[in-house]
Amino acid sequence: MDYLKKTIDSAAGKMIQKAEKEGIETVWDRYAAQQPQCGFGLTGLCCRHCNQGPCRIDPFGDGPAYGVCGADADLIVARNLLRQVAAGAAAHVDHAYEAVETLSVAAGGSANYSIKSRDKLLAVAGKLGIETANKADNDIAREIVEAAWSDFGNHTDSTMKWLLATAPAERVETWSKLGILPRNPDREIREALHQTTMGMDADPVNLILATLKQGLVDGYAGLHLATDIQDILFGVPAPVVTEANLGVLREDHVNIVVHGHEPMLSEKIVEWARKLSDEARAKGAKGIQLAGVCCTGNEILMRQGVAVASNYLAQELAIITGAVDAMVVDVQCIMPSLARVAACYHTKIFTTSPIVKMPGAEHIDFGLEDADEKAQEIVHKAIDNYSRRDKSRVEIPDTKTKMMAGFSVEAIVGALSKLDADNPLKPLVDNIANGNILGAVGTVGCNNVKVAQDSFHVAMVKELIKNNVLVVTTGCSAQALAKAGLMTPEATEMYAGDSLKAVLTAVGNAAGIGAPLPPVLHMGSCVDNSRIGDLLTALANYLKVSIKDLPAAASAPEHQHEKALSIGTWAVSLGLLTHLGIMPQLIGGKKVTEILTGDTAESLLGGKFYVETDPLKAANGLIEHIKTKRKALGI
Ligand code: BF8
Ligand code: SF4
């Protein structure tokens, strides 16, 4: 099993071996070719912000201590971090912006999109103070769209409406005191680029405050805005049962893999794949099998029950099965290597966003006004491509795992209300108070080629649930945990501590599942980290405490993307201990590292980053933190 250094997923391992046999380069080969990675970059001590550089600072103090302009280690690290977090926020805000555009099109009576959840429409309008009585849905939606546009167009010093409507009042006060309340997401992201260009801010502390502000931009103009609008458009997730891993692909079906992040495209692909299955049959296939990679996969899993092919690190491996007729991508986390890998097979890669093109891929410009037409075109092309498949090269790993997903806050509250209809949070809070549930950890974020795929997620989470910690999860972390079989009632029996098992069994039975709830609750894509924020906000409000006082924490065990850093920054601002399992590129700045991982962040916000690269030590660190919080609450 020489693949175990690369992945703990046996399906991925088989495909790595197939790639080696067929001479196809994958992410692991490219990572090996990059060794040794640059020490200045790894520690965050390289600056390329002007053409007098690149400048680098010697982390051991033997070489230069200043860049050409006089910037020192902390300044260079703080500027780099702010740019990374702003880039992560920009990705989520751009995503949210497109969701708002889609709602605007739907409210205008588009044939392509409509409002699926009136409940969510009313809930979001209620939060924003929009009057809904005697108004048509489309009119309410238009006012919600206007509220979003007014955040994006805000040229005053007032705070983003979406944040004020959503964040806990105590947090807003804390952020206000620190002067980090964002005004307009676009303006703040622009300001971060300006603030970090050559000859601007030279104060690392001021730059860290600006970084925290970007976390709030991400949390409210990115994550929250996207989830709210997508739920209105496509429905609020409810529990679904499906399967995960490459074994969901089928030899006798047209296989379409959707990859990226935004449900605007993937929802349409689901719709048309279902409508056009007869056409696939006419071409000799038994039907169309859809499967998702990365977060757009999570979006259609949560709302449509579509199977999961895999997570970030296995995107090339899906193609290496030889069975994928089309991989359709939208935005973010799409490896530029995909077209090269696809060229070794019959697989067609379709890019669809004007800002994501790839030599060797076919670009189909997907627009909101012609969404149905373009989605149909893609599905037709995938069906046509089925006959080009070389059956002799197909090898689909016989590995897939049953899983349950769809745990929106609404779904969790719905299940709990079966135990206490008037006060649904009470059973949860009571079980936390009496210690049956020790606390909760949200595991989020990516895979990273620097650790064996999924290994950190799975080892850490098994240790947490064994110790009666409830785990909620999103993103590639959720897909890792699903593949490892941790989203089933059986996992509760096998891995959960006794008292957690008893609670999950009682809730599962009351909710009519007839089995325990899984010990790991899948709450959606990375933008759906807003759901975890909402759950914590509801619990804190119920208990009349701050989020920072809850026995809860966050973790991004295998983070790779700038978005994971911006989500993590938001989590720290919310007051959460936020674990990172891979060394972030900032340890060269001693003061910056101390502030973000030490007492300063904790005293100002209640939260801080916690870097621990060993999964079991990380689990124990999170458990210790939860116990400290319990003690402080007197429970
Ligand atoms: O937004 S977890 S690798 S797919 S960045 Fe990317 Fe990371 Fe996966 Fe989802 Ni999130
Ligand atoms: Fe070097 Fe300063 Fe230019 Fe950065 S901004 S490259 S540290 S001179």
Kindly give the number of the ligand 1 atom that is closest to the alpha carbon of 563.
5
Q: Output the pLDDT for position 511.
A: 87
Calpha distance 572→596 (Å, rounded): 9
Q: Output the pLDDT for position 1.
A: 62
Instruction: Check if 49 has its Cβ closer than 6 Å to any atom of ligand 1.
Output: no
Tell me the ligand closest to 76's alpha carbon: 2
**CA 480 to ligand 1 centroid distance, Å:** 12
| Average of per-residue pLDDT values in the chain | 97
| Residue pair 317/311 in contact by the 8 Å Cβ criterion | no
What residue owns the CA closest to ligand 1's atom 1?
526
Half-sphere exposure of 66 (CA within 13 A, CB side): 5
**CA 157 to ligand 1 centroid distance, Å:** 32
Mutate to test the pocket of ligand 1, among 85, 301, 561, 567 (most ligand atoms within 8 A of CB): 561
Instruction: Check if 256 has its Cβ closer than 6 Å to any atom of ligand 1.
Output: no
| Residue pair 308/315 in contact by the 8 Å Cβ criterion | no
Q: What confidence category does residue 255 fall into, taking pLDDT thresholds of 50, 70 and 90?
A: very high
pLDDT digits (tens, 9 = 90+) for 45-81: 999 999 999 999 998 889 999 999 999 999 999 999 9
- What average pLDDT does this structure show over 282-298? 98
Kindly give the number of the ligand 1 atom that is closest to the alpha carbon of 445.
2
pLDDT at residue 309 greater than cutoff 70: yes
Q: Output the pLDDT for position 227.
A: 98
Mutual angle of helices 137-152 and 185-195, in 10-degree steps? 20
Dump strand ranges (E) for 307-418: 307-310, 326-329, 348-351, 362-363, 401-405
pLDDT digits (tens, 9 = 90+) for 425-456: 999 999 999 999 999 999 999 999 999 999 99
- What average pLDDT does this structure show over 331-354? 98
Q: Please, is 634 exposed, middle or buried when counting C-beta atoms within 10 Å of its C-beta (0-12, 13-18, 19+)?
A: exposed
**CA 197 to ligand 2 centroid distance, Å:** 9
Instruction: Check if 524 has its Cβ closer than 6 Å to any atom of ligand 1.
Output: no
- What average pLDDT does this structure show over 207-213? 98
pLDDT at residue 182 greater than cutoff 70: yes
Kindly give the number of the ligand 1 atom that is closest to the alpha carbon of 447.
3
Tell me the ligand closest to 198's alpha carbon: 2
**CA 38 to ligand 2 centroid distance, Å:** 18
Q: Output the pLDDT for position 512.
A: 87
Instruction: Check if 292 has its Cβ closer than 6 Å to any atom of ligand 1.
Output: no
Residue carrying the six token digits 């994928």: 324
What residue owns the CA closest to ligand 1's atom 9?
295
**CA 10 to ligand 1 centroid distance, Å:** 21
**CA 134 to ligand 1 centroid distance, Å:** 41
Q: How many residues does the chain have?
A: 635
Tokens of 33: 């070719």
- What average pLDDT does this structure show over 248-271? 98
**CA 445 to ligand 1 centroid distance, Å:** 6
Calpha distance 440→465 (Å, rounded): 9
Kindly give the number of the ligand 1 atom that is closest to the alpha carbon of 294.
4
Kindly give the number of the ligand 1 atom that is closest to the alpha carbon of 333.
6
pTM: 0.98
Neighbours of 631 (CB within 10 A): 10
Q: What confidence category does residue 411 fall into, taking pLDDT thresholds of 50, 70 and 90?
A: very high
Calpha distance 170→605 (Å, rounded): 11
Tell me the ligand closest to 65's alpha carbon: 2
Kindly give the number of the ligand 2 atom that is closest to the alpha carbon of 67.
7
Q: Output the pLDDT for position 61.
A: 87
**CA 58 to ligand 2 centroid distance, Å:** 14
- What average pLDDT does this structure show over 232-259? 98
Neighbours of 344 (CB within 10 A): 16
Backbone angles phi and psi of 202, in degrees to 5: -110, 10
Residues in the ligand 2 pocket, defined by CB under 6 Å = 47-50, 52-55, 67-69, 71, 76, 198
pLDDT digits (tens, 9 = 90+) for 589-618: 999 999 999 999 999 999 999 999 999 999
Q: Output the pLDDT for position 513.
A: 85
Half-sphere exposure of 589 (CA within 13 A, CB side): 30
pLDDT digits (tens, 9 = 90+) for 114-173: 999 999 999 999 999 999 999 999 999 999 999 999 999 999 999 999 999 999 999 999
Tokens of 187: 């303006």
Calpha distance 77→25 (Å, rounded): 33
**CA 84 to ligand 1 centroid distance, Å:** 15
